[in-house]
Amino acid sequence: MLIKKEPDIPSSQITPKRLYLNRRKFLAGTAVTGLAAAAGMRLSEFNSPEASVQANAKIEGIQKSSFSTTEKITPYKDVTNYNNYYEFSTDKYGPAGLAKDFKTRPWTVTIDGLVPKKQVVDVDTIVKWATPEERIYRHRCVEGWSIVVPWVGFSLSELVKRAEPLGKAKFVEFTTIYSPNQMPGLKVPVLDWPYVEGLRLDEAMHPLATLCFGMYGEVLPNQDGAPLRIVVPWKYGFKSAKAIVRVRFTDRQPLNSWNKSAPDEYGFYSNVNPNVDHPRWSQAKERRLGEFLKRPTLMFNGYDQVASLYSGMDLKKNF
């Protein structure tokens, strides 16, 4: 069966072959079990008959957020059918179908590292930690396309405050689920799985950084990061880790997956910066998904509120 490709995404923007090669070999079954345990989940949980939530379930009590953009929202069908989610597929049209039966219940998140006490928290407890807000954010993907999405969640700082990280904690690391029996992309060593991302602690505490469990007023679709993800709108899309199972506080900068894979192309900070080109293409312009014409890329994706976080830094060196 032929899969239709988005006509305005040039072939030069496809992940290069070299990223598929020379990676660590696929982890053996015992290693998989160990990783799942470290992430606070058991592999047996994935086969639970109660392991999914109702598709398109409405989220009640959502409040509007003052952080929202007034830009035109990208249609739901586009956001849910064109996804960067390599755990399922490197083809952007693949994850929507492949993630259909992904099990999101039961689901726990381990909070550990430099904290007074390790916690293993049920995701349905986490989503009740604060009033859900609709936050309409712009996003820019490193490949040159962008979207506007009404996410549902609350400030990531709420999780940080509840974790009570120790004074020497400077960074927070996010680890996503490792479930090769559900995620066919994990069987291909595109990256060194499981997927890991990280933020400086002050970035995680910024009110724009969001802990997200829904979008368009509904529970997150599987292909968009269910059941829990982060959204960091001033950074390129890959910084917003999906399907999170572990949050670890550390005094050392985490080695995030794309930076580990291709350090000359993907830095730790990954702030949207039109003045720093990707080695294989310009970042000066972007194309909104569903539109034809390109528009100029804005510094920090237009979120000037975060500029003070990087005062005095060389943002070409710290890309």
**What region does 98 belong to: left with phi over 0, alpha with psi -120 to 50, or beta?**
alpha
**What region does 217 belong to: left with phi over 0, alpha with psi -120 to 50, or beta?**
left
Note the pLDDT of residue 52: 52
Tokens of 106: 């039961």
List phi, psi (to 5°) of 158.
Answer: -60, -40
The answer to whether 220 touches 241, Cβ cutoff 8 Å, is no
Per-residue model confidence as pLDDT tens digits over 258-275: 999 999 999 999 999 999
Per-residue model confidence as pLDDT tens digits over 155-182: 999 999 999 999 999 999 999 999 999 9
Tokens of 166: 């120790």
Which residues are CB-contacts of 288 (< 8 A; sequence separation ≥ 6)? 74, 145, 146, 147, 148, 295
Which residues are CB-contacts of 57 (< 8 A; sequence separation ≥ 6)? 218, 219
> Which residues on neighbouring strands pair with residue 152, listed in sequence order?
134, 214
The answer to whether 46 touches 243, Cβ cutoff 8 Å, is no
Q: Kindly state the helix (H) or strand (E) to which residue 49 belongs, with its residue range.
A: none
Is 300's pLDDT higher than 50? yes
Could you give the 3-state DSSP secondary structure of residue 18? helix
Tokens of 206: 């910024």
Note the pLDDT of residue 7: 41
DSSP 8-state code for residue 160? H
The count of C-alpha atoms lying within 13 angstroms of the C-alpha of 159, restricted to the half-sphere facing its C-beta, is 34
The answer to whether 178 touches 187, Cβ cutoff 8 Å, is no
How many other CB atoms are there within 10 angstroms of residue 265's CB atom?
Answer: 15
In this structure, of 4-13, 69-78, 237-246, the range with the lowest mean pLDDT score is: 4-13
Per-residue model confidence as pLDDT tens digits over 205-244: 999 999 999 999 999 999 999 999 999 999 999 999 999 9
How is domain 19-137+153-263 classified at the architecture level of CATH? Alpha-Beta Complex (3.90)
Q: Is the dihedral of CA 253, 254, 260, 266 positive or negative?
A: negative
Could you state, in order of their start, the residue ranges of all structural domains in the chain?
Answer: 19-137+153-263
Closest CA to 301 of 142, 140, 145: 140
This prediction has a pTM of 0.84
The answer to whether 87 touches 195, Cβ cutoff 8 Å, is yes
Note the pLDDT of residue 113: 98
Q: How far is CA 66 from CA 133, 230, 249, 308, in A?
A: 10, 18, 29, 20
Could you give the 3-state DSSP secondary structure of residue 181? coil
Per-residue model confidence as pLDDT tens digits over 76-102: 999 999 999 999 999 999 999 999 999
Per-residue model confidence as pLDDT tens digits over 21-68: 333 333 333 333 333 444 444 333 333 434 456 667 999 999 999 999
